[in-house]
Amino acid sequence: MAPAAMRTAAQSLSDAKPVSFWLDDPGRPEALPALTGDEHCDLLVVGGGYSGLWTALIAKERDPERDVVLIEGHEVGWAASGRNGGFCAASLTHGLPNGLERWPEEIHKLEELGERNLDAIEAAVARYAIDCEFERTGEIDVATEPHQLEELREWHQEAEKLGFTGTEFLDRDALRAEVDSPTFLGGIWDRRGVAMLHPAKLAWGLKQACLGLGVRIYEHTRGLEMARSTTGMAVRTPYGRVFARRVALGTNIFPSLVKRVRPYTVPVYDYALMTEPLTADQLASIGWQNRQGLGDSANQFHYFRLSADNRILWGGYDAIYPFGGRLSADLDQRPETFLKLAGQFFDCFPQLAGLRFSHAWGGAIDTCSRFSAFFGTAHQGRVAYAAGFTGLGVGATRFGADVMLDLLAGEQNERTTLEMVRSKPMPFPPEPFAWAGIELTKRSLARADSNGGHRNLWLRTMDRLGLGFDS
């Protein structure tokens, strides 16, 4: 970055609050009391993010008499569920290309289930009057390099041949009529497959819906240890225990209470900026009247969208893996990444020069080697888990909740018989091999972005093995 551009980027960040814009909201609910003493229930849900909240809610919808308890180690929605980009996608497979490559025989069923899942989320938002700024505006995958444009065009043609006709290819002029950036060369618009929403308000709304159905929620109650009990399972917490017939684990990036699951995920730190609200003139200078979500097609990609009050969220690019998978609040702030993101923002939208950022934040998400969630049971079917959502948890966690409840019930249905549900990704190797492999992959991806998309021997080998690293 040139010195003048670096100064401009730094100035735009000078007043940014080091906290998620979504969580910095006066409507943030007060935390509920921690569990003290012993508690008993039919179903214990561990984790108060989307995964746990959907599981608790659907469990009560399926059986209103079921006694459900949810415990959360901090506050509901405080982690990835309260600081993501708010892209709620229908895809269960981290996009159609990834799903087609891994499960070609099931891809039409997976796409159908994903569409039904997004419809169910929209219906639940309406049914429980969750004010989460839900807008089903779709998403545009944007090409900013010639090789990306050609890849998008070829993929769109291939998808239509396979019967997937829900997207529209936009050439340069058509795309810039939607959102105007001199870097945009074209794109693919999925008009119905993605909704934009306020992620923290979705979590808070799900919390209230759960309480309304009789779920007992304890915050600041971390699950420390899990063991068999005479009636099922027992989970120890800092000030008590929960005895449950069944347990659903929605802890995602945090260490699973089923230790053998841990090698399947690694933490990736993702970072985002939020601008101050755009003026009417600033908004007019870029268009964006249809308010779609956008993401560019580079390996090191950006995602960006408008908030309800016309701020621009700009995130992605750097995906940071800490050696040893260390989780630390100190890693939530990374000034060098924020500076890089700010410079890239003004490269994309030079007409917004002078705009400032109000918030800058980051945090860990869980990723797995196949980029999409995996599922399983433990303790002879008494415990179920879902993890590895790799950035698509806003929508896919609801599907994961259904799967966990199906598995706990021992059901054979259209979800549990999927190869995607029955199989596992390749686990990550122990350190230092995990860190070395991830760093080599990241550098190779960056080199491919600057070399016309050409993938080196390492990436080609990873492709053949079906392995990767992504956020």
Q: What is the pLDDT, as a whole number, of residue 457?
A: 85
Omega prior to 432 cis, within 30 of 0: yes
Distance CA 61, CA 54 (A): 10
pLDDT at site 439: 87
The whole-number pLDDT of residue 462 equals 78
Angle at which helix 393-409 crosses helix 107-127, to 10 degrees, equals 100
Question: Given phi > 0 = left and psi -120 to 50 = alpha, else beta, which region is 415?
Answer: alpha
Q: Give the helix/strand (H/E) hosting 188.
A: strand 186-190
DSSP 322: -
What is the C-alpha separation between 463 and 98, in angstroms, rounded?
11
Distance CA 236, CA 225 (A): 5
For residues 252 and 388, give the distance between their C-alpha atoms in angstroms, rounded to a whole number: 7
Which residue in the block uniquely carries the two structure tokens 């900013």? 144
* Cα gap 420→91, rounded to integer Å: 13
Residue 444, token pair as written in the block: 């190779």
Which of 238, 242, 316, 237 lies closest to 273, judged by CA? 316
Q: What is the pLDDT of residue 199?
A: 98
3-state helix, strand, coil in the chain (%, to 5): 35, 25, 40
Tokens linked to 296: 């560019």
Which helix (H) or strand (E) segment is 122 a member of?
helix 107-127
Closest CA to 114 of 368, 396, 375: 396
> How far is the CA of 266 from the CAs of 108, 226, 357, 369, 428, in angstroms?
29, 22, 30, 9, 8
pLDDT string in tens for the chain (471-residue length): 777 788 889 999 999 999 999 999 999 999 999 999 999 999 999 999 999 999 999 999 999 999 999 999 999 999 999 999 999 999 999 999 999 999 999 999 999 999 999 999 999 999 999 999 999 999 999 999 999 999 999 999 999 999 999 999 999 999 999 999 999 999 999 999 999 999 999 999 999 999 999 999 999 999 999 999 998 999 999 999 999 999 999 999 999 999 999 999 999 999 999 999 999 999 999 999 999 999 999 888 999 999 999 999 999 998 899 998 899 999 999 999 999 999 999 999 999 999 999 999 999 999 999 999 999 999 999 999 999 999 999 999 999 999 999 999 999 999 999 999 999 999 999 999 888 888 888 888 888 888 888 888 887 887 777 776 665
